A and B are shown apart, each in its own frame.
Chain A
Amino acid sequence: GAGVSQSPRYKVAKRGQDVALRCDPISGHVSLFWYQQALGQGPEFLTYFQNEAQLDKSGLPSDRFFAERPEGSVSTLKIQRTQQEDSAVYLCASSLAGATTGELFFGEGSRLTVL
């Protein structure tokens, strides 16, 4: 497709389960971002990749959160031993290489509910 694709769109997990969220960026977009958006809040930065290199992971809230982009295209955000406070919409965005303008193209998000 032409846009950023995220899957699954909705995920319900029991507390303690591991989850994996997938992001397919726009073809040719070198930069990829993950954001977390809690209900009624703005997005919060989690991590940023340029190609396969994870250049900034300062926003990951704990060591239970892990992101990878092994071939510089598809990315996976993994959350281990999920907790209720992990419930949020996880947004993936991509942008062109060297895009200093900051224009990000967002997917529709993956809504995670932890019971």
Chain B
Amino acid sequence: DAKTTQPPSMDCAEGRAANLPCNHSTISGNEYVYWYRQIHSQGPQYIIHGLKNNETNEMASLIITEDRKSSTLILPHATLRDTAVYYCIVRAYSGAGSYQLTFGKGTKLSVIP
């Protein structure tokens, strides 16, 4: 799987949009970009994923650049409950029947009142 680079931490004011960047310059054509988050002491929570096109769901939007070398997760109106570590992951089918999600260190997002 391609490696990802994320800033270690970010702050965001409550009610504002949180924009979390991720670089994945070695991504290949069949690799999806996934975002998970982990609130302290809880299991990782799936947020969104995409391949080429921008995606939006009830939690967030995912913007993938045209060359697919970077992406941005957008939380449109951050709340205190969005304080968590956010993980950007790229993944590809291993051909062996399954594969793991490789979690890096992620970005610690702190939403400030």
- The answer to whether A and B assemble together is no
Which residues of B are in contact with A by a Cβ distance under 8 Å? none
Which residues of A are in contact with B by a Cβ distance under 8 Å? none
